[in-house]
Amino acid sequence: MVAISALGQMGSGAPVAYLAETKYQEAADPSAIGYVPAVSGDTNVIVYDARRARAAGGPTWDYLLDDLHAHASQFNAGLVAEFSAAPAGEQRVFVLPFAHASADARYDSLCP
């Protein structure tokens, strides 16, 4: 929240920043998990295909998995395994440019 507050105070001089707007959605059938936009219907949300290669090689999705492993206190092994097993069509991330964030936005899920 400190970073969001600081960006808001910087005005037009703020660096370009993106808010992760991806929500993990569980279903009764574990094979039906999905990654959906947390701000559905917002036309400013960008869908990033995480199957794309990153500079270091391998898909960007692997970077997400590395990040989940690095934050083991927030993501248990079961959840990491589910992300690891995501079908190719589900390997996408939704982001919102900070400049388009609503001033009265409320975030229910934040990583400390």
Give the integer Cα–Cα distance in Å for 35 and 86: 9
Sign of the four-CA dihedral 15, 24, 56, 77: positive
* Whether the Cβ atoms of residue 67 and residue 15 lie closer than 8 Å to each other: no
pLDDT for position 56? 73
Domain boundary assignment for the chain: 18-100
pLDDT for position 112? 40
- Token pair, residue 31, equals 């094979």
Which residues in the chain show pLDDT less than 50? Answer: 110-112
Give the integer Cα–Cα distance in Å for 95 and 38: 9
Helix (H) or strand (E) holding 25: strand 22-25
